[in-house]
Structure formats: C-alpha cells, structure tokens
C-alpha cells in the first residue's frame, strides 16, 4: 500500500526537464502498469486452469502450477 501511495504522490518532474524525457518516463510508467496488470491476469488464469484440472481429474498434482516454458 505504501508503494501505491508513493506512486500516486510522486512529485512532478522539475520544470527544466526536457519534454522528451518527461514523455519517455510517462510511457515507461504506463508500460510498467500494464505489465503488472498482465501478470495478475496471467496468474488468475493459471489458478483457474489448475482448479479446473483438479476438479476434472479428481486429483491434485503440483506440476499443474509449473510454468510450461
């Protein structure tokens, strides 16, 4: 929660910061936020698939939680 507050309350860039740098930093922050969203979605999808497999097979295997890479 503290990290979220730090992100929201982050000070604006200094007035002498070049506009190109401000734009790149804003784009980087959007990509980081998108990455977190995708990671959470992927985790939920994997958990749902593992629970579905467990219910469909009647058993439990820890290998279902492993990354297929």
pLDDT digits (tens, 9 = 90+) for 17-64: 898 988 988 898 889 888 988 999 999 998 888 788 877 776 666 666
pLDDT of residue 13: 74
3-state secondary structure of 41: helix
8 A C-beta contact, residue 54 and residue 60: yes
Residue 69 within a domain: no
Residue 54 within a domain: yes
What pTM does this model have? 0.56
- Domain ranges, residue 28: 21-64
Alpha-carbon 11 to chain mean position: 23
Residue 11 within a domain: no
Residue 3 within a domain: no
pLDDT class of 8 with cuts at 50, 70, 90: low
How many angstroms separate the CA atoms of 54 and 60, rounded? 5
pLDDT of residue 57: 74
pLDDT of residue 3: 64
3-state secondary structure of 65: helix
Overall number of domains in the chain: 1
The token pair that represents 67 in the structure block: 């990354």
């Amino acid at each position: 929660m503290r990290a979220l507050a730090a992100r929201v309350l982050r000070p604006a860039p200094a007035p002498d910061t070049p506009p190109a740098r401000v734009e790149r930093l804003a784009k980087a922050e959007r990509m980081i936020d998108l990455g977190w969203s995708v990671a959470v979605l992927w985790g939920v999808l994997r958990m749902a698939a593992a629970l579905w497999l467990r219910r469909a097979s009647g058993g439990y295997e820890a290998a279902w939680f492993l990354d297929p890479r």
